[in-house]
Structure formats: C-alpha cells, structure tokens
Amino acid sequence: MTPNTKIKLIARTEAGQDQNGYPVWDETAREAGTKVSGVFALFRGGYQGEEILEHQGERFRVVRAYPKSLTEVELTCTSEKVDHGEV
C-alpha cells in the first residue's frame, strides 16, 4: 500500500435466500482514500496498545496493529492531525 491509496469500502446486507436456502447478499461500495504515512515493525513485547507513535520528532496515529510473527508486530500509522491534546 502506498500513501494516499484508494480503497473500496463494501457494506453487505442480506437480501434474502437463494433457491437452496443460502443467503443472498447486496453489496454497496464506496471509494475512500487512505493516508498511510508509515509502517513500523517492532518486537511484540515492546507494544502495549499505544495509540500515538513518535518518530524523528513527528507524531503518528496508530491505525492498525498487526502481529506479523510470534515476535514482531507491524504498526500502520497516519500523520493525520495528531497533537498533544488529541487521541
């Protein structure tokens, strides 16, 4: 994923059942731009659910924490409006 990547968000609602009784779904999609500013990897033991990360004097909001392995976690971050009073 690159900065300012376009993604689609898809909402699903059940619209009934097919002839075999399985659910039929309606999907509504809309585009959204993501503003990923950085991806950081660190030891899992070093991350305890913090919502803000600071790197080289710049603050980032953690938007996703993903366990990459048994020992490593990957933090996807955005620099979108992060200051000392807002989380």
Distance CA 77, CA 65 (A): 9
Q: Give the Å distances, CA to CA, from 86 to 29, 53, 64, 83.
A: 30, 13, 18, 6
Instruction: Tell me the CA distances in angstroms from 22 to 10, 13, 26, 28, one per residue in order.
Output: 20, 14, 13, 20
Summary mean pLDDT of the chain: 80
Over residues 42-68, the pLDDT tens digits come to: 888 888 889 888 888 888 889 889 999
3-18 pLDDT tens trace: 455 656 578 899 999 9
